[in-house]
Amino acid sequence: MCYTQNRFKALISACVMLLIATAGWSQSLTWLGVLPNGYDSYASDVSAGGAVVVGLAFNADWQWRAFRWTASGGMQDLGTLGGGYSEAYGVSADGSMVVGRAANAAGQGRAVRWTASGGMQDLGTLGGYWSAALDVSADGAVVVGVAENAAGRGRAFRWTASGGMQDLGTLGGCCSEAYGVSADGAVVVGWSYNAAGQQRAFRWTASGGMQDLGTLGGRESVAYGVSADGAVVVGRAQNAAGLWRAFRWTASGGMEDLNTTYASLLTDGSMLWEARAISPDGRYIVGYGRNAATGRYQAFLLDTVPEPASLMALGAGLAGLIRLRRRKR
């Protein structure tokens, strides 16, 4: 009898330890480094599974270059259209397509689309005043960004083929910009000036309009990315000391400082300054900060939660052992 009880306790302990270990292994922070002989790097977006990260980095000549990063291939320079710079802002769910802007031989900034087979493609312009597309819904039907209005002010917009370009307004100030959109195009995030001239992160819906997401105790904030369901927003915000810190926002939890939430991953003095994007499922967050080990500003990939499948399997095993024990009593 004692042997059976001891064996049962051992099995329970093993399951608990595996659950704890799995949670610890899954949470991680990966610094993505820089281009060969280059300098700083900044992440802009991440693919659905967290396997591909895109952004911009300085090359050896201090020129901006769009990059695409994978764990196996490292940071890849995507080139330009013949000009001096390029920037990557978005990536498709499977990581195969990258969008952004690049300079052509005449020094003009152009919207671009990159694939491994086709390279960098110039998408042209509308032949008029400036505008920039900064994100797109999962099915490509909704585009968001910033465009100049008739008064010369930059305004956040939401575009559809049937409705055209819609001005999303502001929080009471002059200007706004949209940086992210949910998978179905219903939720838009970005920043707007409020009536006091402060830059504030916003979350917009057709029914609720533009909502001020607040700050971390300081004056200003900016939202850059949103999860597929529109429930989780990431960006940067000033804390009470006026310092910029990467944040994550939810309706239930409000705005949290990622440096506080994941302090156990930053014990060497590294700092997460800006969260630029979040994976569709809300698990992976990318952005940039200071890597204390190198003393450089670098892009980061943050894995925020344990592997759901592993935890569910272990949890089911634990529950099964408990049920078996109860039957034997």
pLDDT at residue 67, as a whole number: 96
Give the confidence band of 165 by pLDDT, cuts at 50, 70, 90.
Answer: confident
What SS3 string covers the chain?
CHHHHHHHHHHHHHHHHHHHHHHHHHCEEEECCCCCCCCCEEEEEECCCCCCEEEEEECCCCCEEEEEEECCCEEEECCCEEEEEEEEEEECCCCCCEEEEEEECCCCEEEEEEECCCEEEECCCCCCCCEEEEEECCCCCCEEEEEECCCCCEEEEEEECCCEEEECCCEEEEEEEEEEECCCCCCEEEEEEECCCCEEEEEEECCCEEEECCCEEEEEEEEEEECCCCCCEEEEEEECCCCEEEEEEECCCEEEEHHHHCHHHCCCCCEEEEEEEECCCCCEEEEEEEECCCCEEEEEEEECCCCHHHHHHHHHHHHHHHHHHHHHC
Q: What percent of the chain has pLDDT over 90?
A: 57
**How do residues 269-283 score in pLDDT, each as one tens digit?**
999 999 999 999 999
Q: Is the pLDDT of residue 155 over 50?
A: yes
pLDDT at residue 329, as a whole number: 54
pLDDT at residue 211, as a whole number: 98
Give the confidence band of 114 by pLDDT, cuts at 50, 70, 90.
Answer: confident
pLDDT at residue 318, as a whole number: 53
Lowest mean pLDDT among 8-22, 161-175, 190-204, 241-255: 8-22
Lowest mean pLDDT among 84-88, 105-109, 190-194: 105-109
